[in-house]
Structure 1
């Protein structure tokens, strides 16, 4: 069934990407940085003098599935939080509660159906967070930036079933400065402090990642099953469910031989009709004798063969 469904996988590149950074305290959650201005650059579009894989991570993958995601450093939304809300939020940083910073990649692909949008969300480890006093100074205008370490891994793998996972070989994390720009309007910027070590984004210092999007089966009942539920879904659907149904239909065939595979059942049918007639006439004694006669015939294979011979 699988081979007849054209099992050749096809490329499934990332069509859209966005980044968001939130800060969370007991007072709630604020979005500091968000951008949807991310460029998707295929692996084969790079010049030969640009080496994005100096440690040969991607040698085992198809180059058509590898992309470089380059995002703008400046946020695509303005910082429009009212001053009274900022003041309350700054006060919450003085309380003895946790402060979390959450980084999120949102990636969009064409397949699998129902899982076109995948998300990688990471809560920064407390040891990598900036000091609360630095965050307060940035929010109240005393400073312009604070630094976060190990924000997200540089290399990702998006599976065929729609999961986003850091590359298993080696996790290279990104350090970044979050900067607030104050002019006629206010907005946040993301400055990758290690961006000079990654060429190919044309000088952009915003969030960047190298992503491999695994190939998926083409559309169709088998392809959709594999895309949504992987090979285990195909196994459970066809081997367990369908196989079990067929097995139930074919099991205990030997028990059906006395009822479905006898040469001639005219005499047995005549006994059954006599039982029905005796019951209808109220001859219950005759009915009982005929019933036990029929039971005795079925209990004895020899008698069953004698009664079902072809005349």
Structure 2
């Protein structure tokens, strides 16, 4: 009963306990972080008062409310924009070189979600390039101080699903995306801000107009078997126990009939000694001794067969 209770894979809730979001800009000369914040609230879905405002198309109707959370982040970054002017100038030049080679720049958005399980895969990441990037000229004007913001259209999916095995995917059938305005606050020191431009998101986040997302964190099984399934998936469990362990047992049980004369029958040491004596007498040319040993062997085998039949 103890083994069964510890190995019984009962599913339990596995909510998100920590969140961070980051936006990087990539050029031929490297990669810089524009915006990053870890100041995000995690609101359980069951405490939401107006589901229709946040999920108007009812994408989440088939999911358990205990597994859904609304993530609302502050618009201001938790890190400063402390890039020296020479590095920034060289980076702008690298952006122009990338545009000449590839025709566009690249912005990469990262969501990091932290959960309690499965062990070894507590931290999961969603990383994706922003499809509708602004032009290099728009970014240059912000970095040079001519303007202070540029738009990010369809920056990232609005709905995420974190699987029990530790993968982040876009929620099936949900095509909604989040757009925003990335703004550089030219204070001392400067910092970036991301403002969500979708008015329906502000109602659910209770005034927080920064990055937001709706996350479905699937339940994970507990116990020894459950943790193994969550960490290594069903295919790894099959390979380990079915192929490896079963093959070992098969090797131990194969060719049992070849071991019957030595393991299941009475001792054959005397008959083996007679056979070795016959071989030695033949090698020395003692044919009379060989014949005597041969008839002795035949009589011994006949007696042994009689005992086995009884």
TM-score (norm 2): 0.85
User: In the TM superposition, what whole-angstrom CA distance separates every residue of 1:23-48 from its partner, at most 9, and x where no partner exists?
Assistant: 01112211100001011111111125
Find the partner of 1:260 among 253, 260, 263: 263
Q: Distance in 1 between matches of 2:290 and 2:62?
A: 80
Question: Following TM superposition, by how much is the alpha carbon of 1:149 offset from its aligned partner in structure 2, in angstroms?
Answer: 1.5
Match of 1:93, SS?
Answer: helix
Alignment-derived partner of residue 89 in structure 2: 87
Q: Distance in 2 between matches of 1:50 and 1:155?
A: 15
Find the partner of 2:126 among 96, 120, 123: 120
Find the partner of 2:152 among 148, 151, 169: 148
Alignment-derived partner of residue 167 in structure 2: 163
How large is the Cα RMSD of the aligned pairs? 3.1
Question: Following TM superposition, by how much is the alpha carbon of 1:131 offset from its aligned partner in structure 2, in angstroms?
Answer: 1.3
> Structure 1 residues 116, 195: closer, same or farther in 2, change over 3 A?
farther
Question: Following TM superposition, by how much is the alpha carbon of 1:235 offset from its aligned partner in structure 2, in angstroms?
Answer: 1.6
Judge which range, 249-258 or 204-213, deviates more. Answer: 249-258
Alignment-derived partner of residue 31 in structure 1: 33
> Structure 1 residues 61, 284: closer, same or farther in 2, change over 3 A?
farther
Question: Following TM superposition, by how much is the alpha carbon of 1:134 offset from its aligned partner in structure 2, in angstroms?
Answer: 0.7
User: In the TM superposition, what whole-angstrom CA distance separates every residue of 1:268-294 from its partner, at most 9, and x where no partner exists?
Assistant: 32122345678899976689969x97x
Question: Following TM superposition, by how much is the alpha carbon of 1:169 offset from its aligned partner in structure 2, in angstroms?
Answer: 1.4
Find the partner of 2:181 among 170, 177, 180: 177
Per residue, is there more helix in 1 or in 2? 2
Uncovered stretches (5+) of structure 1, i.e. residues with no partner = none
Q: Distance in 1 between matches of 2:11 and 2:35?
A: 37
Alignment-derived partner of residue 239 in structure 1: 242
Alignment-derived partner of residue 269 in structure 2: 269
Q: Distance in 2 between matches of 1:16 and 1:113?
A: 16
> Structure 1 residues 224, 142: closer, same or farther in 2, change over 3 A?
same
Find the partner of 1:223 among 223, 226, 232: 226
Question: Following TM superposition, by how much is the alpha carbon of 1:247 offset from its aligned partner in structure 2, in angstroms?
Answer: 2.0
Find the partner of 1:17 among 16, 19, 29: 19
Instruction: Please say if 1:187 is aligned against 2:163.
Output: no
User: In the TM superposition, what whole-angstrom CA distance separates every residue of 1:84-124 from its partner, at most 9, and x where no partner exists?
Assistant: 11111222233213421000001111111111111100012
> Structure 1 residues 253, 4: closer, same or farther in 2, change over 3 A?
farther
> Structure 1 residues 236, 286: closer, same or farther in 2, change over 3 A?
farther
Q: Distance in 1 between matches of 2:122 and 2:158?
A: 22
Match of 2:32, SS?
Answer: strand
Alignment-derived partner of residue 107 in structure 2: 101
Uncovered stretches (5+) of structure 2, i.e. residues with no partner = none
**For the Cα contact (< 8 Å) 1:100–1:123, is it kept in 2?**
yes
**For the Cα contact (< 8 Å) 2:41–2:71, is it kept in 1?**
yes
Instruction: Please say if 1:136 is aligned against 2:140.
Output: yes
> Structure 1 residues 180, 48: closer, same or farther in 2, change over 3 A?
closer
Question: Following TM superposition, by how much is the alpha carbon of 1:195 offset from its aligned partner in structure 2, in angstroms?
Answer: 4.2
TM-score (norm 1): 0.85
Match of 2:20, SS?
Answer: strand
Q: Distance in 1 between matches of 2:72 and 2:290?
A: 91
Q: Distance in 2 between matches of 1:179 and 1:281?
A: 103
